[in-house]
């Protein structure tokens, strides 16, 4: 089968992992390997670059969740976690660490594809949302920077008007001429004017 999705399995139980790996192969997935624990999982994921990660644990402890969070920062992937512990607090911590699907009622072969499909869809939706938020954050920072520059420019213009007793238009033209003559951005001229004129009585 071409373009098969690749899977990395994390399970300390070799027998249980073998059953899972065979079930994945039967469903058409390519198993890249198995890890005994989540230690150095980020490095392994970065090296193997699996499409999906399946973690089968009795109980996801703090170290497991921290390792997952580290991996999610460096090389995010859809993560499916099978665990016996299904309390709300544990599930919420797992999701915050990067789990796309948390399954507590065991793994049945006929459900594998559906579970993986849901995890991939959730992962892609989350990544798209995070990308959009990052873009919005960048735009917000740009607006803030532009506003700060405008405030400095207005302040410099006001100082010129005060010390030279001129109109706003003349002050603005003077600043633009200085910028052209010195081949510097207007904001740099504004900063220089402020640093000089603020010291003058």
Phi, psi of 196 (to 5 degrees): -85, -55
User: What is the per-residue pLDDT across 164-194, written as a single tens digit (0 to 9) for each?
Assistant: 999 999 999 999 999 999 999 999 999 999 9
pLDDT for the residue numbered 106: 65
pLDDT at 123: 80
168, 161 in Cβ contact below 8 A? yes
Could you tell me the CATH superfamily of domain 6-107? Answer: Response regulator (3.40.50.2300)
Question: Residue 107 has which token pair?
Answer: 């793994």
Fold of 135-197: Arc Repressor Mutant, subunit A (1.10.10)
Residues 60-80: tens digit of each pLDDT: 778 888 888 888 887 888 998
Q: What are phi and psi of 74, to 5 degrees?
A: -90, -40
Secondary structure (3-state) at 81: strand
Measured CA to CA, the distance from residue 56 to residue 11 in angstroms comes to 5
Q: What is the pTM of this model?
A: 0.60
CA distances from 41 to 26, 85, 99 (A): 25, 21, 14
14: tokens are 């070799």
pLDDT tens string, the chain, 201 residues long: the values are 446 889 999 888 888 888 888 888 888 899 998 988 888 888 888 889 999 999 887 667 788 888 888 888 878 889 988 887 777 888 888 888 888 888 876 666 667 777 888 888 888 787 777 778 778 888 888 889 889 999 999 999 999 999 999 999 999 999 999 999 999 999 999 999 999 888 776
C-alpha span between 105 and 28 (Å, rounded): 23
Domain ranges of the chain: 6-107, 135-197
d(CA 41, CA 47): 10
Residue 67 near residue 98, CB atoms below 8 Å: no
| pLDDT for 3 | 66
Report how far apart the first and last C-alpha atoms of the chain are (Å, whole number).
81
pLDDT at 1: 41
């Amino acid at each position: 089968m071409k373009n098969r999705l690749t899977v990395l399995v994390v399970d300390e139980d070799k027998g249980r992992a073998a059953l899972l790996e065979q079930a994945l192969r039967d469903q058409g997935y390519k198993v890249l390997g198995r890890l005994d624990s989540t230690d150095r999982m980020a490095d392994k994921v970065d090296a193997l670059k699996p499409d999906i990660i399946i973690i089968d644990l009795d109980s996801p402890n703090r170290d497991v969740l921290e390792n997952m969070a580290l991996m999610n920062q460096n090389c995010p992937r859809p993560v499916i976690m099978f665990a016996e512990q299904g309390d709300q607090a544990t599930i919420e911590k797992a999701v915050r660490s990067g789990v796309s699907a948390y399954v507590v009622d065991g793994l049945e072969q006929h459900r594998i594809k559906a579970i993986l499909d849901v995890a991939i869809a959730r992962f892609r939706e989350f990544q798209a949302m995070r990308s959009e938020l990052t873009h919005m954050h960048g735009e917000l920072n740009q607006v803030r920077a532009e506003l700060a520059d405008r405030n400095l420019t207005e302040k410099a213009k006001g100082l010129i008007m005060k010390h030279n007793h001129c109109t706003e238009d003349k002050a603005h033209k003077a600043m633009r001429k200085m910028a052209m003559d010195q081949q510097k951005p207007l904001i740099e001229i504004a900063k220089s004017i402020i640093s000089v004129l603020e010291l003058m009585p």
